[in-house]
Amino acid sequence: MATRTVTRLPAPSKAAYKRPSDALRSRHHLPWRPRRPDQQLVAYWFLAPWLIGLLGITLGPMIYSLYTAFTNYNLLTAPKWVGFQNFQLLLQDPQFIQSVKVTVTFTLISVPLVLLSSLGLALLLNTGIRGLSIYRTLFYLPSLLGSSAAIAILWITVFSQPGLFSDVMSFFGIHTGSLIGNPRTALYTIVVLNVWAFGATMIIFLAALRNVPREYYESAAIDGAGRWQRFRRVTLPLITPALFFNLILGTVMASQTFTSAYIIGGPAGGPAGSLLFYTVYIYEEGFANFKMGYASAMAWLMLIALGLFTACCFATARFWVHYGDER
Amino acid sequence: MIYASPLSSSRPFFLFRFGPVRSRAFQALLRHIVAISLLVVMLYPIAWLFVASLHTGESAALMGVGLNLTHLSLSNYWSGLTGPLDFSRLFLNSLLVAILEVIGALFSCTLAAYAFARLNFPMKRLLFSVLIAALLIPGQVLIVPQFILFYNLHVVGTYIPLILPHYLGIDAFFIFLEVQFIRTLPRELDDAARIDGCNHLAFLLRVVVPLSLPALATVAMFMFINSWNDLLGPLLYLSNPHLYTVPLGLSEFIDNTGQSSYGGLYAMSFLSLVPVAAFFLAGQRFLVQGIATTGLK
């Protein structure tokens, strides 16, 4: 930064050039800007794979798909420009509306549930409990398994009829039937799956809780703060960075749910479309029906929606996310 | 998050206190009971899956809630691995893809992370912002444009679309994770290496990589698990059953399974969970070691 301020200085007088240090400074008055000596262009060799990937398989294809979103494209013939037709058709497509409904409902229910349960368990484990590392490992494990096909298959056997869940409930005299076969409850089985895999979120909360300085609790206690007040006024503000991170990541992940929905509901989206997640519908339209333009339009709508959500989070962050060192 | 210090101070803060009893030992006991019963409820279905996979024929589907520990046999595993679906091949395919993806992620992410953590170069701040933005791009938004790209490159039906992106640093999160770790290595190492005549590549390979093993192990573990669990990628790009990976095989299996072959389905499902759990448990120990030996937090 220091060298940049030098460039804004007025041109030195002729007398000033006599000092040797000014010979260096005068380089900044050349018509081109010379490379700063501390810059290492070799860095671009190290960045080359990532940069090629960024242009070739991320940004490039994304921009191309922005174009195909305005075309009819079935991969075999050249894309045909149709203007906003794909977006107009989407708004009239009941299956698209259904997929938005399913995904938004799922995200709105499962993300807060995951945040609450993982924060609750993190608080329970942050009490100096013995064997913390064992608990941490075992609670974390399901979050690695949760996105696998095998667990989705297990979920089918747990929530079908006969299945573990209905058997346990009928022991208490409640007859649930098959939760997966019922359009009103099928989505909640995937909510349960998401909550079951709450370990990763919990680990982040746990790390944040361990960074809260003990002295804060002591001084709060001296000021007469009760248990709840200490949580509300000390703990909660200090873990908002973790909450912020988990909220964004949880929402982005939940809105992209695919494997469990596809295995449990099949490509058609389960009973009465109750498991027709957005990504499942993109898959159906793009890769079963080869409507690439239509699928591109859907992908871009999702990108815009998640981008808006993330932007809102960052824009409001300064009102509710507190960083410990008062930055 | 994984590097959180295991030490905690002597007087922790309790939000949770059960009932009016103030005895510390009693409170601790209650906390253990809550945590353990939660774990039992969460992990019981997996134990159930294992026991059900040891039952043959109809009895696998009809086991009920309890764990029926009579008439167990490993025949479901044998028939699943060698039978018409030939899961032994699928496991090898999955392993091959996962290993190639892990190598790719380690290669591209370490190179990029070193540049961001240790070198100054024009447009560094801009490119780092791009990296952070790439972190937030939901991966599934890219499936349509990437499919079009790979279709036009005539590589659909091979493993190239699954593997290649990882050699080109598609995993922005791993780059970010490694940058954060490499930044914590002391700067004096750079100077010492430079005086000894090390160039950047030699410094990276001889100093940074050995010191970053905990971060690299984390990247390898997450990449392996992501690759092993991925269904959407293989579903899009693979059509030849000889090239199928395990999740794709399971997805096909469930479509044409009657009650009589549930045992085989359970067996292959359970077997597919084993590498993930094993990799995690092995990696966990390695991480703790790595942190202890380097003294880094």
Percent of chain A's residues with pLDDT above 70: 87
Range of the domain at A145: 88-320
Contact across the interface for A61 and B142, Cβ inside 8 Å:
yes
Contact across the interface for A123 and B15, Cβ inside 8 Å:
yes
B272 CB within 8 Å of a chain A CB? yes
pLDDT confidence of B18, banded at 50, 70, 90? low
Residue of B nearest to A211 (CA): B4
Q: Which helix (H) or strand (E) holds A315?
A: helix A292-320
Residue with tokens 């067996």: B267
| DSSP helix/strand/coil, A80 | strand
| Mean pLDDT value of segment B60-64 | 71
User: pLDDT tens for residues B153-174?
Assistant: 999 999 999 999 999 999 998 9
Instruction: Using CB atoms, pick whichever of A65, A154, A292 lies closest to residue B269.
Output: A154
Residue A63 resides in a domain: no
Instruction: Using CB atoms, pick whichever of B45, B119, B228 lies closest to residue A40.
Output: B119
What ipTM was assigned to the predicted interfaces of this complex?
A: 0.85
User: pLDDT tens for residues A58-103?
Assistant: 999 999 989 999 999 988 888 999 999 999 999 999 999 999 999 9
User: Does A28 have pLDDT greater than 70?
Assistant: no
A129 & A256 share domain: yes
**Distance, CA of A194 to CA of A108 (rounded, Å):** 12
Average pLDDT value for chain B: 84
A224 & A94 share domain: yes
- In a mutational test of the A interface, the residue from B10, B13, B175, B228 whose CB has the highest number of chain A CBs within 10 Å is B13
A27 & A96 share domain: no
Residue A249 resides in a domain: yes
Neighbours of B105 (CB within 10 A): 27
Domains, chain B, in order of start with CATH, read 24-80 (no CATH), 84-256 (1.10.3720.10)
Residue of A nearest to B137 (CA): A303
Average pLDDT value for chain A: 85
User: pLDDT tens for residues A32-53?
Assistant: 555 556 677 889 999 999 999 9
User: Does A168 have pLDDT greater than 70?
Assistant: yes
User: pLDDT tens for residues B66-113?
Assistant: 787 777 888 889 888 887 778 999 999 999 999 999 999 999 999 999
- Phi/psi of residue A320, each to 5°? -135, -10
Q: How many helices (H) and strands (E) does chain A have?
A: 18, 2
Contact across the interface for B141 and A138, Cβ inside 8 Å:
no
User: Does A245 have pLDDT greater than 50?
Assistant: yes
| Nearest chain B CA: its distance from A319 CA (Å) | 22
State the total domains in chain A. 2
A23 & A165 share domain: no
What is the predicted pLDDT for the residue at B16?
Answer: 60
Contact across the interface for A57 and B141, Cβ inside 8 Å:
no
Q: Which helix (H) or strand (E) holds A180?
A: none
Instruction: Using CB atoms, pick whichever of B10, B144, B251 lies closest to residue A292.
Output: B144
Residue A25 resides in a domain: yes
A129 & A263 share domain: yes
A192 & A276 share domain: yes
Percent of chain A's residues with pLDDT above 90: 49
Percent of chain B's residues with pLDDT above 70: 85
B126 CB within 8 Å of a chain A CB? no
| Nearest chain A CA: its distance from B115 CA (Å) | 5
- Which residues in B lie closer than 8 A to residue A150 (C-beta atoms)? 49, 247, 250, 268-270, 272-273
Contact across the interface for A252 and B136, Cβ inside 8 Å:
yes
The count of CB pairs under 8 A between chains A and B is 279
Lowest mean pLDDT among A39-48, A169-178, B251-260: B251-260
What is the predicted pLDDT for the residue at B280?
Answer: 86
A23 & A96 share domain: no
User: pLDDT tens for residues A197-220?
Assistant: 998 899 889 888 888 888 888 888
A178 & A291 share domain: yes
Instruction: Using CB atoms, pick whichever of B9, B15, B200 lies closest to residue A231.
Output: B15
Q: Which helix (H) or strand (E) holds A115?
A: helix A94-125
- In a mutational test of the B interface, the residue from A133, A148, A178 whose CB has the highest number of chain B CBs within 10 Å is A148
What is the predicted pLDDT for the residue at B88?
Answer: 93
- Which residues in A lie closer than 8 A to residue B121 (C-beta atoms)? 39-41, 43-44, 47
A272 CB within 8 Å of a chain B CB? no
What is the predicted pLDDT for the residue at B181?
Answer: 86
What is the predicted pLDDT for the residue at B293?
Answer: 40
Residue A54 resides in a domain: no
- Which residues in A lie closer than 8 A to residue B268 (C-beta atoms)? 150
What is the predicted pLDDT for the residue at A7?
Answer: 47
pLDDT confidence of A255, banded at 50, 70, 90? very high
A158 CB within 8 Å of a chain B CB? yes
**Distance, CA of B112 to CA of B147 (rounded, Å):** 25
A13 & A101 share domain: no
pLDDT confidence of A16, banded at 50, 70, 90? very low
| Nearest chain A CA: its distance from B266 CA (Å) | 8
| Nearest chain B CA: its distance from A18 CA (Å) | 31
Contact across the interface for A303 and B64, Cβ inside 8 Å:
no
A28 & A98 share domain: no
Residue of A nearest to B3 (CA): A207
Q: Which residues of chain B from 140 to 179 reach within 8 Å of chain A, CB to CB?
A: 140-149, 151, 164-165, 167-170, 175
What is the predicted pLDDT for the residue at A119?
Answer: 95
What is the predicted pLDDT for the residue at B6?
Answer: 36
Residue A77 resides in a domain: no
Residue A38 resides in a domain: no
What is the predicted pLDDT for the residue at B257?
Answer: 64
A215 & A103 share domain: yes
Q: Which CATH number goes with the domain that contains A114? A: 1.10.3720.10
Instruction: Using CB atoms, pick whichever of B2, B131, B138 lies closest to residue A306.
Output: B138
Show the CA angle centred on residue B103, arms to residues B165 and B125, nearest 5°. 60
B69 CB within 8 Å of a chain A CB? no
A11 & A110 share domain: no
Residue A62 resides in a domain: no
Residue of A nearest to B121 (CA): A39
Question: Pick the residue with more confidence: A35 or B56?
Answer: B56
DSSP string, A147-173: TSHHHHHHHHHHHSSSSHHHHHHHHTT
Record the tokens describing residue B94, joined without a space: 């999955």
What is the predicted pLDDT for the residue at B21?
Answer: 58
Residue A106 resides in a domain: yes
User: Does B14 have pLDDT greater than 80?
Assistant: no
SS (H, E, C) chain B: CCCCCCCCCCCCCCCCCCCCCCCHHHHHHHHHHHHHHHHHHHHHHHHHHHHHHCCCHHHHCCCCCCCCCCCCCCHHHHHHHHCCCCHHHHHHHHHHHHHHHHHHHHHHHHHHHHHHHHCCCCCHHHHHHHHHHHHHCCHHHHHHHHHHHHHHCCCCCCCHHHHHHHHCCCCHHHHHHHHHHHHCCCCHHHHHHHHCCCCHHHHHHHHHHHHCHHHHHHHHHHHHHHHHHCCHHHHHHCCCHHHCCHHHHHHHHHHCCCHHHHHHHHHHHHHHHHHHHHHHHHHHHHHHHHHHHHCCC
